[in-house]
């Protein structure tokens, strides 16, 4: 409830969608646990579940998949691709090249508060990789 109310969703709507939120998040066994006791992964699961259960024109996912297991990452990436396919605007922030490649067609590389490059995902990701990896696998 707290996550939904914090982003302005009426409590009645949250109650109607609670089963879907719990099912998507996979935290059903812990749903009566206070959120302050959730691990960062559980909190991330719940926040993503709330976000995708309520339609929005714009979504911002900022490193939400960094602390969840690979199965939930795959579910989220699939849902994020679906949101994009139905015309939603997605801002997806990640340090994971694989995740960015999975959901982004255009990428903005920010460095020290400035736009370093903006363009197709492949072009920008290749440029970033070239600039930050020196052949030894180390950034």
Residue count (the chain)? 139
The domain of 63 spans 2-104
- Kindly report the CATH number assigned to the domain that includes residue 42: 3.40.50.300
Tell me, yes or no, whether 22 and 46 share the same domain.
yes
For 116, the 3-state DSSP assignment is strand
Residues 7-66: tens digit of each pLDDT:
788 899 889 998 999 999 988 888 888 878 888 888 888 888 988 888 889 999 999 888
Tell me, yes or no, whether 29 and 94 share the same domain.
yes
Tell me, yes or no, whether 128 and 81 share the same domain.
no
Tell me, yes or no, whether 18 and 52 share the same domain.
yes
As a 3-state breakdown, the chain gives helix, strand, coil percent values, each rounded to 5, of 55, 15, 30
Task: State how many domains the chain has.
Answer: 2
Tell me, yes or no, whether 89 and 109 share the same domain.
no
The Cα 25–Cα 41 span in angstroms is: 10
Which pTM does this prediction carry? 0.78
Q: Distance between the two ends of the chain, CA-based, in angstroms?
A: 41
Tell me, yes or no, whether 100 and 56 share the same domain.
yes
Angstrom distances, CA of residue 46 to CA of 42, 58, 87, 96: 6, 18, 23, 21
The Cα 12–Cα 9 span in angstroms is: 8
Looking at residue 135, its pLDDT comes to 53
Residues 49-62: tens digit of each pLDDT:
988 888 889 999 99
């Amino acid at each position: 409830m707290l996550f939904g109310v914090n982003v302005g969703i009426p409590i009645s709507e949250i109650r109607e969608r609670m089963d879907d939120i719990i099912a998507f998040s996979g935290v059903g066994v812990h749903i009566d646990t206070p959120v302050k006791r959730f691990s960062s992964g559980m909190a991330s699961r719940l926040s993503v579940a709330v976000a995708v259960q309520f339609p929005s024109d714009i979504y911002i996912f900022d490193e939400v998949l960094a602390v969840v297991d690979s199965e939930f990452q795959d579910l989220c990436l699939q849902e994020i691709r679906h949101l994009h396919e139905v015309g939603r605007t997605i801002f997806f922030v990640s340090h994971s090249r694989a995740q960015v490649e999975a959901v982004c067609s255009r990428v903005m590389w920010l460095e020290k508060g400035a736009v370093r490059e903006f363009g197709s995902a492949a072009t920008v990701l290749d440029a970033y990789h070239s600039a930050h990896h020196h052949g030894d696998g180390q950034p």
